[in-house]
Amino acid sequence: MSKPKKLRDKGDGVSYSSLLDEIIGCGDMVLLDPPSEDKVVENLKLRYSEKDIYTYIGKVVISINPYEKLTVYTDDYIAQYRSRNMFELPPHIFAIADDAYRSMRDHNEDQCIIISGESGAGKTEASKLIMNYVTKVSSDYVGVGRIKEQLLQSNPVLEAFGNAKTVRNDNSSRFGKYMDMAFNFRGDPLGGVIHNYLLEKSRVVFQAPAERNFHIFYQLLAGASDDVLQMIRLDRDYFCYHYLNQSGCAHVLTKDDKRDFQSTVKAMEITGFTPDEISGVFELLSGILNLGNIDFTGYALPNGTDASKLTRIDEKPIMYVCDMFGCSVKLLEESLTERTVEAGKESVTKPLSIAQAIHARDALAKAIYYRLFAWVVNKINDTIRVTYEGKMKVIGVLDIYGFEVFETNSFEQLIINYCNEKLQQVFIELTLNSEQDEYIREGIEWVTIEYFNNEVICLVIENPKNGILALLDEECLRPGDVSDETYLEKLDKHCVGHPHYESRRCKGFLSDQTLKKSNFRLVHYAGKVSYCVDGFIDKNKDLLFGDLSKLMFSCERKLLVEFFPEGDPDKSTMKRPITTGSQFKTSVTALMKNMLSKNPNYVRCVKPNDEKTAKNFNQSLVTHQVRYLGLLESLKIHRAGYAHRMPFERFLMRYKMLSKTTWPTWKQGPKTGCREILKATMKKPNEYSFGRTKVFIRNPKTVFDLEDRRRASLEELAILIQKTYRGWHQRSAFQQIRNAQITISKYFRGYKQRKEYERIRNAQITISKYFRGWKARCELWRMKLELNSGWASEIIRKYYYGWKLRYTVKRIWAASIIAKYHAGWKVRKQYRAKLTKHLKKSAAPVIARFFKVAMVYMFLIRLRDNLPSLSLHDKRWPEAPERFKHVSLELKQIHHRWRAKCIRDRYNGDPKLKRKLLEKTRASTLFRGKKMLYSKTVKVPFRADRLNLRENQRWNKLIADTDDKRIIWSDNVHKVNRSSGKAVPKVLVVLRSLVLLLEPKSFAIQYRINLTHIQQVSLSVHNDFHFILHIDPGQVAVGSYSKGDFIFHCPNVIELVTKMHLVMQEAHSRRLPLKFVDNEIIIYPMPNESLKLEFHRTSEQGDVVNPHCRRRGNVMQVQI
């Protein structure tokens, strides 16, 4: 497609060419002269050869599928077409998207973009381009980006679940989609809502040759990780599944399923799906694929009735389905092979034949997928739902299945083509019929243009009395023998003679070999299509046996319970469900009503060839599409008619600023005002006409010219408004500042005078206060001086007499004190000799006793500060002097007994700790000095359930029906194959009475060993991890353990044997014999046979973590 050439400036700094500049062929085919079918096809071929795939007929866009990627959808092109008149740039789908968006935003009109055409014509890609453009050109306010992303990411999710490869299209929409995008007054997206119509669910269970199932199945198998596939029980090979291998087509050159899977998961996360919900969806898809692999085997009951049962050759699909759905195998088999018929309060169970069972299986798969798809759509709607409560407008985008003609056409093709007939009827109604009727109604001179009106075809399908769908509903509800053949007979009875209905009963078609006896043919607007009535009754009824609904409602998966509410026994009803045809007819009627309430915009998609190859223009195929799409008639009406019309009132209100006589107010009639405006702006009177209520403008360029003039006038008015506002704003600001200055000055002067008055007044008061104070103080001082003169002399005299008396008394006291001290000194001097002699006789024993007590005290203090810790391994004890050695030994024994009592009290208070001590003590008794590995396990704590089986769902399911559920010990071990020496990983579980050997992945029980049947356990004295369980020969002889003794390799062998020894003694009151050997052990792999197990040291140091065993004859060598 040629890029628009810069030519003339439009006011934004960038200028572009018009529609007529450097356009290949004719961009708007209204300008073709003369207008003919050959000219139209020739023009489309010329433009297609130059990769110009878009062409206009007025405002209708013709889009030809290029079958290759073009570079005309980049952000640069979006910027070029943004806010441009539709005919200002070369034809492009962005132009009609921008015109619809601006009409919605600027004119406040709801818009609808209807995309129609054959299957493979590019409708889905066109809808995605329109949505991408609208979201790109809308504003980016806070929160809008998230809404845009959610709206765009809804497409990958819906394509994955609703699109599939057909013989005509690698990405064919197998459902109808109508999406309303809501916008606020600024044009910001607020959210949206998606309506889906009639998913082709029969594709889930059957695909024609060279076609595929829905994309999501192939994406899941190609893109999911190995862990995810293992978790949901799927294999990566497509051809392992019956629902995917029927057509022989698994890969598509134009699709990368692995990359698309990542895009689908990311889109699901953006559109509000939680990780648990995504996992739940994958589980249901896995269940559907595995359900298709379930086979049935037929047999006859004693009364001769045909019955069926599940084929048990390979039970994996059955187990996988039950695992994914969360139901029991028994209930699944009963629901698929039996049917419960209720008559009043009684119910009868009938067996199903093989064909009926296969039909029930396929019906269940289709129902699950159909309801899953509806749930996905509702989930997306919950995410993008509009929460805005203000005024808003919408743009609707319709992307629905195209007209289909296959080698074998069934019920799905009938209702798909019926929908296309209704869309063609809307196109005729709004573009051909309504436009000509409007000219006549408005009194415009007009010559009627003949065209084909397909209303007669719609009536033969939807007539409520004898239409095809009405007769089908009547036949479905009729009691008695009802079949597809009786339905065809009824069709022939009511429709024979209709010009658009053909069958072998119609005259002229009795010997038509191209029309099979089980077919009827309709002459659609797009051509003749033969429909095979086989399956019409069942597909219209779309019944699912009540047993299957109850089965799904009873499953553990929450989604299945939500999908099948009719399976609730408490809410069962006998009301007949609505037929598929009636439901679809109601939906299409509501869709047509919705589209008719909006301003339509059309994109007519054309398929250039059936080979889906680029640069291949099949002229006959395109001519056929041009003919049945009514493009030539539309072209003629656009050439003869008027491109634009508008009521007088709206035209006057929109363009009144273009004439000085109508601006700013017009007090006369609106028609006169419109005439004044057109006189002032147009020089050619033949460019417009006046109807009774509207003004009609012939050329789109005239409308664009009016819009350009209006835009320029609005800019001038905006400048005038801005100028007036700025002058008013500045004057108001000046007046406000001036008034503020006067007010401030007034208040400031008053404030200043008040402050000055207060300052002078306060100063006068202060001076007066200080003067009066000074005067009062002078008078007080004088009076105090006179009073204190006599008082002071009296005080001085009193103090003198007191001092004199105190001085005399103090001298007398000092003399007495000196006399006392002198008398004492004389007495002490006389008796000092006697006292010294007495002390020499009695002081020595006292001092000796003091030192002895002090030594005992120091010994006890030092012992207290150096006592050992509470650990029994702490053997320290402080050294004692020779005299206290006996006492130190006694204290040491007392301390040891006290320390042991503390430890016993702690263990008695904690049973688990006591149990661990018991296990460690027993391990010491069993292995200390007997096996070299024991010393390295002393510090390692023993554990019981090393695999955490108590939280494993498979384990809990395995032991649900047993009484022995207490796990003594569990861990991963290696079982050594006695025949070859190969080590196989297993899961070993010790219970109170059993030893179970399980498969690591499936948890299937391989061996079940009774503890009482274990005669002895043999181990080597080395650092290896091997041990042998010797089985009682009597049990081997009777066949309970046909393969004899077991050889295991376990890194926690000390812990395992200790726990087995304890449980054997506690549960069975007997000791488990242990045997330790140095070089060899004799084992019995089979009755009356023996095998010698030899240990060979490969290194003086180091443990052999992995088992290394090799058998040679009757000798198995173990490297340690």
**Burial level of 429, CB count in 10 A (0-12/13-18/19+)?**
middle
What H or E segment, with its residue span, contains residue 1009? Answer: strand 1005-1010
- The torsion defined by the Cα of 891, 894, 895 and 896, in degrees rounded to 10, comes to 120
Contact 1109, 981 (CB under 8 A): yes
- Residue in 88, 200, 338, 404 annotated catalytic: 404
Residue 267 Rama label (left phi>0; alpha psi -120 to 50; beta): alpha
- Residue in 43, 119, 286, 420 annotated catalytic: 119
CA distances from 1076 to 828, 1021, 1079, 1111, 1116 (A): 94, 6, 10, 21, 18
Q: Indicate the pairing of strand 1014-1020 with strand 1074-1077.
A: parallel
Catalytic, 620? Answer: no
Catalytic, 119? Answer: yes
Half-sphere exposure of 764 (CA within 13 A, CB side): 5
Q: Which residues pair with 182 in a beta bridge?
A: 191, 394
CA distances from 524 to 420, 504, 595, 629, 1085 (A): 10, 18, 22, 11, 80
Phi, psi of 974 (to 5 degrees): -115, 125
Rg (CA), the chain: 52
- Residue in 43, 65, 172, 196 annotated catalytic: 172
Which residue type is seen at 69? K
Catalytic, 120? Answer: yes
Alpha helical stretches, state H, 520-564: 536-541, 546-553, 558-563
Residue linked to tokens 């509009």: 386
Tokens of 79: 């910027």
Phi, psi of 181 (to 5 degrees): -105, 125
- Residue in 27, 58, 117, 120 annotated catalytic: 120
Catalytic, 402? Answer: yes
Catalytic, 124? Answer: yes
Tokens of 860: 């006890």
- Residue in 63, 169, 264, 1058 annotated catalytic: 169
Residue 402 per-residue DSSP state:
P
Contact 675, 648 (CB under 8 A): no
Tokens of 990: 């010790």
Q: Measure the CA–CA gap between 1072 and 649, rounded to whole angstroms.
A: 106
What H or E segment, with its residue span, contains residue 181? Answer: strand 176-183
Q: Measure the CA–CA gap between 339 and 336, rounded to whole angstroms.
A: 8
Length of the chain: 1120
Peptide bond into 1107 cis (omega under 30): no
Q: Measure the CA–CA gap between 337 and 317, rounded to whole angstroms.
A: 16
Q: Measure the CA–CA gap between 634 and 600, rounded to whole angstroms.
A: 15
- Residue in 287, 402, 467, 673 annotated catalytic: 402
CA distances from 187 to 37, 97, 142, 383 (A): 40, 13, 14, 20
Residue of 643, 751, 733, 746 lying closest to 697 (CA atoms): 643
Q: Contacts from 481-488 at CB under 8 Å and sequence distance 24+?
A: 482/537, 483/537, 484/518, 484/533, 484/534, 484/535, 484/536, 484/537, 485/518, 485/533, 487/533, 487/536, 487/537, 488/518, 488/520, 488/533
Phi, psi of 451 (to 5 degrees): -155, 165
Residue of 282, 850, 335, 292 lying closest to 549 (CA atoms): 335
How far is CA 1060 from its chain centroid? 48
Residue of 499, 566, 488, 489 lying closest to 534 (CA atoms): 488
Catalytic, 122? Answer: no
533 CB neighbour count, 10 Å cutoff = 22
- Residue in 63, 65, 116, 124 annotated catalytic: 124
Catalytic residues: 119-120, 124, 169, 172-173, 402, 404
